[in-house]
Chains A and B, each alone.
Chain A
Amino acid sequence: MVTDDGQLYTIEGVAAGMIMLFTAYLVLGATSVYTPGDSHISDMQLEQTGTDALRMMNTPVNGTSESQLTEIVDTLPLVNGAIAPATNAFDPTNNFNILFLNYVNNKTGSDYVLNISEADNLHYTAEVTYYDRKNTTTEGLLISSNRNLTGSEHPVRVTQWVITNQPVPGDTTMTQPRAVLVEVLLWRD
């Protein structure tokens, strides 16, 4: 005797189920296509430029001198726990600002002097991060910035390890060279 076991009752039900599954599949699949344009490309370019700039700042000009970045970090008054205005002729904050902007804005075909009209409209905020052994915490201090982050920007992060001879807070008695991390958030208007 023929029974109803193992049968679906209507073809409409099956078709509707399939359509729903197919639609759900398309919708879920489609979401990954709509990434925010080609933003990752400009991010990559910005990250490359920032990384190059920090790397070149951390490369000594000759075999006997310190790198510009090491010199800047060494002259930051980290011992006080905050960056105070420079008291000597070498102003690390201003120096970082000039050097970094110069590196990230340099282009061929220009006169190489930082020209506002030719500049790339880049903004940054730079910090140095160090390990405080006394409090076993990682602390960060602002080196320099040419604009504050408001939260709406989309910055990239570039870093460079720097070996410094300067004592850092929580570890002022240590005389050996220390590794600190210079971290720059870089974005374009």
Chain B
Amino acid sequence: MTDEAGNLSIDFLAGFTIFMVTLIYVATLIPGLFIGLQSRSIDYDAVAYRTGVVLVEDPGMPYNPSWETLPNYSKGDILRFGLSLSKDTPNILSPEKISRFFCSTDFVYPDDYRSRAVFGDYPYQFNISFQRADENVTQSVGDVLPEDYGYSRRVVRVKEHSNATLDFSNINSGGPLAEYTQDKYQTNNATGQVFSVYFNYTYLLENGPAGNSPAYQINPLAPSGAGEIIGGEGALINLTGLNKLPQNASIVNLSSIAIYRSVSLAPLSTGQSAFNGPVMNTTDTSPFELYIDDNATPVKSLPYGVNNSVSLYIPPGVLSFVGQGDSSTLLNITMQFSTTDANGNPQPDRYLNSSLVLPDGAFDYNYANPNITQPSLHDGVVEVAVW
């Protein structure tokens, strides 16, 4: 007789197999439930990496007008911080964006930064710092670092904008700057003493070096804020050695700074009226920063006596504002000087006069002028710590 003890039926075997397969499947899912808790350091390093990438390789959102140009009352429109000049120039940072990002009066740690740079639902704490290689000043935002934290370090470069310096101290021996005085084109004294700087926006925006890369471009417009004096690159114009100019008059005053704008003809020679923008004279306040004779205090109203030097800083945004965001703008910024005798009577002189310089009757602010220091890049480093 057949003994059936110790045998299994095929039904039981099928059921048991299904049960075991299910058990194994569930067992494999269990580790997945704990992935988020598995390693805190992995999480923090990944967040630090992500934050570093967002800051260094992205220009931020919104892009045009750029986020750093938005006034404080509309900072809610800023969706994402990003310090890069453009999406095509990773690791090349904008000085305006850096300055705004670390502005502790505009943004509050941690909330403003957490939602725009660090992201994520977890309430991370963090420290973001930046330092330029040629400055021993670290800019930072965030808490003091704990012992353990996620970390990311990015090597970057920061764009430094162009500036023009005209040193007239050797003007008596001739030289390239003679055309900006009366010497080259006219030997007589003149009643009008002006120094004009000419910006051709179309030329500047289309003829930058290195394939018109944003990293080396003199860009008066972008990133711009329409209608307000915000955003856009600035410019610095230094006139030094003015006391060496041929001069009969006892007193030289800088009497006004005016802006002329055109979109079709070169502005100075065609005699357009002054553009209704920021003009500095006795009555108008101005967004310019004007320093005379190396005085550390900016001059706020004109006329003002000049002996040796004039530094006119056009802050970021002014060129964009007066150009009305129009890339076909031809702009002329004119400093009007008055030369008088000791009693204040006008005195014809051979002081500065750029109105005869070819082709535009002004100092051309362009990529070829040897008196202009072109935009350059400076080393820096960005560090992100998250915990």
Contacts and interface: CB of A to CB of B under 8 A. Distances in A.
Nearest to A62: B376
A125 to B, nearest CB: 19
B358 interface: no
Interface in A104-125: 104, 106-112
Q: How large is the interface on B (under 10, 10 to 19, 20 to 34, 35 or more residues)?
A: 35 or more
B77 interface: no
A56 B215 CA distance: 12
Contacts of A104: 155
Contact of A106 (B216, B374, B379): B379
Interface in B154-208: 154-157, 208
B163 to A, nearest CB: 13
Given A4-B2, A4-B7, A108-B140, A52 B155 contact: yes
Nearest to A56: B155
Most interface-central of B90, B140, B215 (chain A CB within 10 A): B215
Given A48-B49, A107-B381, A59 B157 contact: yes
A109 B49 contact: no
A8 B5 CA distance: 11
A111 B377 CA distance: 19
B125 interface: no
Nearest to A26: B27
Contacts of B216: 60, 62-63
A6 B13 CA distance: 11
Given A14-B16, A62-B374, A106 B155 contact: yes
Nearest to B127: A108
B16 to A, nearest CB: 7
B153 interface: yes
Given A62-B375, A63-B367, A106 B49 contact: no
Interface in B1-36: 2, 4, 6-10, 13, 16, 20, 24, 28, 31
A110 B137 CA distance: 9
A2 B208 contact: no
Given A4-B2, A62-B377, A63-B374, A25 B24 contact: yes
Given A52-B91, A56-B379, A109-B131, A41 B45 contact: yes
Contacts of A53: 155
Interface string B138-163: 10100000000001111111000000
B264 interface: no
Interface in A59-73: 59-64
A22 B39 CA distance: 27
A7 B10 contact: yes
Interface-central residue, B7, B10, B208, by most chain A CB under 10 Å? B7
Given A29-B28, A63-B367, A14 B213 contact: no
A18 interface: yes
B352 interface: no
A41 B41 contact: yes
A133 interface: no
Nearest to B218: A63
Interface residues of A, number: 40
Contacts of B41: 38, 41
A63 B129 contact: no
Interface in B26-73: 28, 31, 39, 41-42, 45, 49, 52
B209 A63 contact: yes
Nearest to A42: B45
Contacts of A55: 90-91, 155
Contact of B39 (A2, A29, A38, A62): A38
A45 B48 CA distance: 10
A103 interface: yes
Interface string A19-62: 00010010001000100001001001100110011011001111
Nearest to A65: B376
Nearest to A12: B6
Interface string B87-108: 0001110000000000000000
B296 interface: no
A129 B249 CA distance: 68
A44 B49 contact: yes
27 contacts: A6-B10, A7-B8, A8-B8, A8-B13, A9-B6, A9-B7, A18-B20, A33-B31, A38-B41, A38-B45, A45-B152, A48-B153, A52-B155, A55-B155, A56-B155, A56-B157, A59-B92, A60-B216, A61-B376, A63-B210, A63-B213, A63-B215, A63-B374, A63-B375, A106-B133, A107-B153, A108-B383
Interface of A: 2-4, 6-11, 14, 18, 22, 25, 29, 33, 38, 41, 44-45, 48-49, 52-53, 55-56, 59-64, 103-104, 106-112
Closest 7 CB pairs of A and B: A63-B209, A63-B216, A52-B155, A108-B131, A108-B129, A62-B376, A106-B381
